[in-house]
A and B are shown apart, each in its own frame.
Chain A
Amino acid sequence: MEIFLVFIIPISIAVFSFIFMKGISFKEFMVHIIAQSFLCGIFLLILYINSINFMEIWNGKIVKKYSERVSCEHSYRCHCYTSCSGSGSKRSCTEHCSTCYDHSYDVDWVAEDNTFEKVRIHRVDRQGLREPERFSKIEIGEATSHSHTYRNYLKASKTSIYNEKYKNSFKPEDMPKYPNNIFDYYKLDRLIDSDYTVDVKYHWQFMQMNGDFGKYECNAILILTKNKPQEYAEAVSTFWGGGNKNDAILIINMNDLDEITWVQVYSLTENSLFQVSLRDDILLLKKFDIDKILDKFSSNIKNHYKRMEMKNFEYLKYNLSPSMLEIIILMILGIATSIGLAIFFNINNTFGDE
């Protein structure tokens, strides 16, 4: 119904301007109606796409690296000449130029992973003839991470029971930031260890492990905490909006004696054995041991993880509707464009039929 309002007010403006403005012809009026409907439709579509699209992380491994010749990007205007026409006060001159290029070709240094994602390493010279040092360092089999847009009806829905927020005593500033900060082209650290429990080498190891999880369509995140109540896990999950559809979030808490006190697993998986088995495997360790934890995390993903399809939640899309603020903004945009078009058609004789 609100969507109908977005259309009807600008259309009514078109009708009233056609009746009361003398400079608008029938053809212009019809063009106004069609253009206005199209514009309102586009506004709504942009709003809808924006509300359901979220970013997830895709993992992979470098499978090939190569250099390729591409069209030169360094163009400039050349072979210019001026041509003039008319005489006296009506004489006008125009400059004509061709486009020339610095090189006959440029070279791109590309690494490709098994998700068909291409990483282009910045050139170190203008044409790219010299192999960049960063490109030389790329190893086949190295883990990669990329942001990828996907539809998430669960996060977009305002009415679903999945979106119930659990009240907790933690403040947003106590919560870790969702790990999506990709650095150095394709690297992403997903081991959150605010108490510096583990050596930095494990961050790299976990990054490399995630490269293997790509084929299981999984993005593993590990959070290590100390002396936190179990409520913290629920708070993190709520703060992250339940995570993304391919996330497997493992939260482990330990005490000062490095004993594991609780474990929580969050994941939107078809097979709950993944959460149960992973939790039990970690609890059985009793004492914190990062090597064993990474090993258990990896084996459980490989053996039990099965990502749930978002189409299971497609039923939520029918109740998605713009907020009142969004509707007001859309209506203002629609009214403004409709008034603009009315003034334009009133001033200009666009089709020469008046």
Chain B
Amino acid sequence: MNIFAKIGVGLVVLILFTIIGCGSYVASTNNTCIVYEQRLQAQYTKNQNVYDSFWKTVKEVAQVPEKYAKDTKSLYEGVLKGRYGEKGSQAMFQFLREQNPTLDASLYKTIQNAMESGRRDFKNNQTILIDIKQEYQIYINSFPRVIVARGLGFPKIDLSKFDIVTSDQTEKAFETKKVDEIKI
């Protein structure tokens, strides 16, 4: 084989190798972006589910009659969003006692635990949502993947829709850039 034939073969191999490499890169970028977007949506739905299920747990633990179920949900959402401030759990307990006067005071700890663990579970799931979103943004914005990802039209979902649920207090603090003193 003469040198020109060898150069030709060498070039063909290099070009083939580059085409296979680039093709795999594009395919893997496309598939990974799809996985991220699906995972983000699934986590968002899971968060809604976690948000929804805990007021039901509190209702069950406190044995609230069915006719007050809606009020319980609304109040629980208020506690989650910090509408009743630091004394949120107490406001909830007072409400539950009004609806169910036979409520044993010993149940207070159980209700408080259910509420705190509900808030923690919700926070944990929100952290996962933030992390998925952050990882996806790192993935599609890192060079040179950004060129491929944008070329393929990613992100194909509106990422701003996947923000976490924050409390009224937090939103107010970020708007005003001021945090009220915590009263003990």
Q: Do A and B bind each other?
A: yes
| Chain B residues with CB below 8 A from A272, complex form | 116-118, 120-121, 124
Complex CA–CA separation, A271 to B50 (angstroms)? 11
Complex CA–CA separation, A285 to B130 (angstroms)? 37
Is A161 within 8 A of B21, CB to CB?
no
Which of B1, B113, B135 lies in contact with A277, CB distance below 8 A? B113
Asked if B39 is an interface residue, CB under 8 A from chain A, the answer is: yes
Which of A7, A12, A161 lies in contact with B134, CB distance below 8 A? A161
Is A276 within 8 A of B120, CB to CB?
yes
Q: Could you show 14 A-B contacts with beta carbons less than 8 Å apart?
A: A1-B143, A4-B21, A8-B17, A11-B14, A15-B13, A160-B134, A161-B127, A271-B117, A271-B121, A272-B117, A276-B113, A277-B117, A280-B113, A315-B35
Complex CA–CA separation, A280 to B131 (angstroms)? 29
Which residues of A line the B interface, CB within 8 A? 1, 4, 7-8, 11-12, 15-16, 18-19, 25-26, 29, 33, 159-162, 270-273, 275-277, 280, 312-313, 315-316, 318-319
Closest to B14 in A: A15
Complex CA–CA separation, A12 to B124 (angstroms)? 48
Q: Mark B112-137, 1 if CB is under 8 A from A, else 0.
A: 01101110110010011011101110
- A19-B32 contact given A276-B113, A312-B128, A319-B139, CB 8 Å threshold: no
A40 to chain B, nearest CB (A): 11
Asked if B105 is an interface residue, CB under 8 A from chain A, the answer is: no
Asked if B3 is an interface residue, CB under 8 A from chain A, the answer is: yes
Additional pairs, 17, CB under 8 Å, beyond known A4-B21, A159-B134, A275-B120: A1-B145, A7-B21, A8-B17, A15-B14, A18-B9, A29-B9, A160-B134, A161-B130, A272-B118, A275-B117, A276-B113, A280-B109, A315-B131, A315-B132, A316-B135, A319-B138, A319-B139
- A160-B131 contact given A11-B17, A277-B113, A315-B36, CB 8 Å threshold: yes
Asked if B182 is an interface residue, CB under 8 A from chain A, the answer is: no
Is B3 within 8 A of A318, CB to CB?
no
- A273-B114 contact given A4-B21, A19-B6, A280-B109, CB 8 Å threshold: yes
Q: Mark B1-42, 1 if CB is under 8 A from A, else 0.
A: 101001101110110011001000100000010011001000
Asked if B101 is an interface residue, CB under 8 A from chain A, the answer is: no
A185 to chain B, nearest CB (A): 37
Is A319 within 8 A of B6, CB to CB?
no
Which residues of B line the A interface, CB within 8 A? 1, 3, 6-7, 9-11, 13-14, 17-18, 21, 25, 32, 35-36, 39, 109, 113-114, 116-118, 120-121, 124, 127-128, 130-132, 134-136, 138-139, 143-145
Cβ-closest 5 pairs across A and B = A272-B120, A273-B117, A15-B10, A272-B117, A276-B117
Complex CA–CA separation, A160 to B1 (angstroms)? 54
| Chain B residues with CB below 8 A from A271, complex form | 117, 121
Complex CA–CA separation, A159 to B117 (angstroms)? 27
Is A18 within 8 A of B10, CB to CB?
yes
Is B135 within 8 A of A319, CB to CB?
yes
Complex CA–CA separation, A280 to B130 (angstroms)? 29
| Chain A residues with CB below 8 A from B35, complex form | 315, 318
Is A160 within 8 A of B128, CB to CB?
no
Is A26 within 8 A of B1, CB to CB?
yes
Closest to B33 in A: A318
| Chain A residues with CB below 8 A from B116, complex form | 272, 276
- A273-B135 contact given A1-B144, A4-B25, CB 8 Å threshold: no
- A16-B10 contact given A273-B117, A276-B116, CB 8 Å threshold: yes
Complex CA–CA separation, A252 to B32 (angstroms)? 43
B46 to chain A, nearest CB (A): 10
| Chain A residues with CB below 8 A from B145, complex form | 1
Q: Looking at A8, A33, A160, A276, which has the most chain B CB atoms within 10 Å of its CB?
A: A276
Complex CA–CA separation, A12 to B15 (angstroms)? 11
| Chain A residues with CB below 8 A from B118, complex form | 272
B8 to chain A, nearest CB (A): 10
Complex CA–CA separation, A276 to B114 (angstroms)? 9
Complex CA–CA separation, A11 to B118 (angstroms)? 56
Is A315 within 8 A of B13, CB to CB?
no
| Chain A residues with CB below 8 A from B130, complex form | 161
Closest to A29 in B: B9
Complex CA–CA separation, A290 to B18 (angstroms)? 65
Complex CA–CA separation, A271 to B114 (angstroms)? 10
Closest to A17 in B: B10
Is A159 within 8 A of B138, CB to CB?
yes
Complex CA–CA separation, A180 to B21 (angstroms)? 42
Complex CA–CA separation, A275 to B35 (angstroms)? 32
| Chain A residues with CB below 8 A from B11, complex form | 15
Is B3 within 8 A of A162, CB to CB?
no
| Chain B residues with CB below 8 A from A277, complex form | 113, 117
